[in-house]
Amino acid sequence: MPTTETLFNAFITLLVTIDPPGLAPLFLALTGGMARSERIAVASRATIIASIVLLAFLFAGSAVLSALGITLPAFRVAGGLLLFYIAFEMIFEKRQERHERTSERAVSADHIANIAAFPLAVPLIAGPGAISATILLSGQFAKQSLGWAWLVGIVIVVMAGVMAAFLLAERIDKYLGTTGRTILTRLLGLLLAALSVQFVADGIKELISAA
């Protein structure tokens, strides 16, 4: 069974990478003009699709890497660097701007009917960072007893948090405000930066020991 620290770090890594509070205002923008029932339907479909995507990479990600001849330590270094880049964007307020541009392109291209699948589920929820984090965590938890079950539970809990953020989007956006969102995003970005450095350090250590 994974230790409490391992479970907590995995939960924080996935939660910070997906960033439910940061998705709340984007959800409001994408579903502008919709009725409450329509917003609930979009939120439900988006979280279900994103969950399926992440769980697919959780179970098949390592097999895909093996088929491509990529070792898990090498992917751990690459994934850690990607997560660090996302953390950098969060700290310097670049990630929100990029997500906003993605949502604007989707709306202008008249993708309202499929808004839950794109861009909400992919790439805003299950984006490259979240997928990379899921594969990295799957490699770590595969060595633990019942590791897969615990990681699936973490994914489900984080997705429930995303769903809650969507349903409470109006309240969250009003409560946090621009200043609150900025402070929260930077704090979470700093935390993700530290976790990503740990991923890189572990990957380099494994690569050196395997050489």
Tens digits of per-residue pLDDT, 4-56? 999 999 999 999 999 898 888 888 877 766 778 888 988 999 999 999 999 99
Whether 42 and 29 have beta carbons less than 8 Å apart is answered as: no
Which residue's structure tokens are 């946090």?
176
- Within-domain flag for 112: yes
Q: What is the DSSP letter of 32?
A: T
- Within-domain flag for 163: yes
**95 has a pLDDT exceeding 60:** no
For 186, the domain range is 4-205
What does the block give as tokens for 141?
């938890």
pLDDT at 109 (0 to 100): 38
- Within-domain flag for 211: no
**130 has a pLDDT exceeding 50:** yes
- Within-domain flag for 25: yes
- Within-domain flag for 210: no
Mind listing the pLDDT tens digit for each residue in 132-141? Answer: 899 999 988 8
Q: How many structural domains comprise the chain?
A: 1
Report the alpha-carbon distance of residue 138 to residue 187 in Å, rounded. 26
Whether 22 and 99 have beta carbons less than 8 Å apart is answered as: yes
Nearest to 139 by CA among 49, 53, 203: 203
* Number of residues that this document lists for the chain: 211
Whether 1 and 146 have beta carbons less than 8 Å apart is answered as: yes
- If pLDDT is split at 50, 70 and 90, which confidence band does 152 have? very high
- Most distant CA atoms of the chain, gap in Å: 59
Strands (E), the chain: none
- Within-domain flag for 200: yes
